[in-house]
Structure 1
Amino acid sequence: MQSGNIGQEKRPDTLGTVLCAGKILLSSGAEIYRAEETMYRMAEAMHIEDMDAYVMNRGIFATAKVGGEGIQTRIVSVPDKEIDIGKIEEVNELSRDVCTHSKTLDYLSSSLKKIESRNHYGVMGRMLAYFLGAGGFSFAIGTSMRDSLCAGIVGSMIGLYLLFSQGRIKSRVLETILGSVLTAILGNLLVSLGIGVHLSYIIIGVMMDLVPGVAFVNSVREFSQNNFATGETLLISALLTCV
Structure 2
Amino acid sequence: MQTAQLVMNTALLAGEILLSNGSEIARVEDTMTRITTNAGFKQADVFVLLTGITMSLPEVGLTQVRPIHTRTIDLEKVDQVNTLSRQFAAQEIDLRTFNRRLHQISAAVATFPFWLQDLAAIVVSVTLMVAFTHIDDWVTVGLTALAGGVGYAVFYYINHEVRIRFLSEFLAALLIGLIADLGLMWLGLSRPARDAVIIGALMPLVPGVPLMNAFRDTIAGNFLSGPARAMEAVLSVGAIGVGIALMVSLR
Q: TM-score, normalised by structure 1?
A: 0.84
In the alignment, the residues of structure 2 paired with residue 195 and residue 20 of structure 1 have an alpha-carbon distance, to the nearest angstrom, of 54
1:111-154 deviation line (CA, Å, top 9, x unaligned): 01221233222212211221111112211222233213321222
In the alignment, the residues of structure 2 paired with residue 195 and residue 42 of structure 1 have an alpha-carbon distance, to the nearest angstrom, of 60
Question: Which structure is higher in RCO with an 8 Å CA cutoff and minimum separation 6?
Answer: 2
Out of 167, 175, 191, the residue aligned to residue 174 of structure 1 is 167
- Quote how far apart the aligned CAs of 1:88 are: 1.2
- Quote how far apart the aligned CAs of 1:187 are: 2.8
1:8-31 deviation line (CA, Å, top 9, x unaligned): xxxx84312211111111121111
| Structure whose residues are more often helix by fraction | 2
- Alpha-carbon RMSD: 2.2
**Residue 83 (structure 1) aligned with residue 73 (structure 2):** yes
Which residue in 1 is equivalent to 2:98?
108
The aligned amino acid for 2:203 is M
Aligned 8 A contact 2:37 2:43 in 1: no
Which residue in 1 is equivalent to 2:31?
38
C-alpha distance 90-200 of structure 1, shift in aligned 2 (>3 A): same
Aligned 8 A contact 1:49 1:64 in 2: no
1:29-49 deviation line (CA, Å, top 9, x unaligned): 111111111111111233345
In the alignment, the residues of structure 2 paired with residue 19 and residue 103 of structure 1 have an alpha-carbon distance, to the nearest angstrom, of 18
Aligned 8 A contact 1:176 1:241 in 2: yes
Give unpaired runs (5+ residues) of structure 2.
239-251
In the alignment, the residues of structure 2 paired with residue 193 and residue 106 of structure 1 have an alpha-carbon distance, to the nearest angstrom, of 62
In the alignment, the residues of structure 2 paired with residue 109 and residue 34 of structure 1 have an alpha-carbon distance, to the nearest angstrom, of 18
Q: After the TM superposition, which residues 96-175 of structure 1 pair with which residues of structure 2 at under 5 Å, given as runs?
A: 96-101=86-91, 103-118=93-108, 119-140=110-131, 141-146=133-138, 147-175=140-168
SS, match of residue 207 in structure 1: helix
Report % sequence identity. 25
**Residue 215 (structure 1) aligned with residue 233 (structure 2):** no
Deviates more, 1:227-236 or 1:163-172: 163-172
Q: How many residues align?
A: 229
In the alignment, the residues of structure 2 paired with residue 133 and residue 81 of structure 1 have an alpha-carbon distance, to the nearest angstrom, of 23
In the alignment, the residues of structure 2 paired with residue 204 and residue 149 of structure 1 have an alpha-carbon distance, to the nearest angstrom, of 14
In the alignment, the residues of structure 2 paired with residue 130 and residue 90 of structure 1 have an alpha-carbon distance, to the nearest angstrom, of 24
In the alignment, the residues of structure 2 paired with residue 80 and residue 192 of structure 1 have an alpha-carbon distance, to the nearest angstrom, of 41
Q: TM-score, normalised by structure 2?
A: 0.82
Which residue in 2 is equivalent to 1:16?
9
